[in-house]
Amino acid sequence: MSCLTSGLSIDCANSCAGGLSKFWVASVADITSLNITAGEIDTITMVATKKFYEFEPYQETGNFTETGERVNCNTVVTQTLVAVFPCHALTTREAIQELQDCCCGFVVIHEENNGTRWLWGAPKDLTTLGIAYPAQLTNYETVTGTAINDQNQSTITLTARGTVQAIPVASTVTIPV
């Protein structure tokens, strides 16, 4: 039985600028449903009064990595977002604390510098695509630097694991913020 239905070629007409410009995070319990049509999320339904919260890291410091590992005919996908927020301050500390306290996890949408948006960390009760666990804050580090021109910053790492790659979010979707 054949497993392949198509190949892959390079589209030289599209710009693929690296990095991400911003991301949104919502507690997994605050999302009622996701609707997927033609492989894209076209509707996000939230619990009344709940929303996604926007995070905008310093320019050219945010990145998303998705890694698939295949062992014994099973694939595990690990999604990792790393973002830097300059000038350690009370608001930064409080945001990190809220992410840290969210033990049930969250769903993340990130927007790449080329304008595409991707959702990940959605558990299997929100999609029927496979097994996925909500994203978690897995690491953070705050440094003051040594010299006056060193960066004073906080870096956060969000991670999710499952069997589902990040899902594209249709350009028509307004993220509930």
Q: In this structure, what are the phi and psi dihedrals at residue 103, rounded to the nearest 5 degrees?
A: -65, -25
Q: How do the pLDDT tens digits run along the chain, 177 residues long?
A: 567 777 766 677 666 778 899 999 999 999 999 999 999 999 999 999 999 999 999 999 999 999 999 989 899 999 999 999 998 899 999 999 999 999 999 999 999 999 999 999 998 888 878 888 999 999 999 999 899 998 899 999 999 999 999 999 999 999 999
Q: What predicted TM-score, i.e. pTM, was given to this entire model?
A: 0.91
- For 44, what's the count of Cα atoms within 13 Å in the CB-facing half-sphere? 30
pLDDT in tens, 118-148: 999 998 888 878 888 999 999 999 999 899 9
pLDDT in tens, 86-107: 988 999 999 999 999 999 999 9
DSSP structure string for 82-131: EEEEES--HHHHHHHHHHHH-TT-EEEEEEETTS-EEEE---TTT-SSS-
Using CA atoms, how far apart are residues 79 and 106, in angstroms rounded to an integer? 13
Strands 153-162 and 74-86, sheet pairing: antiparallel
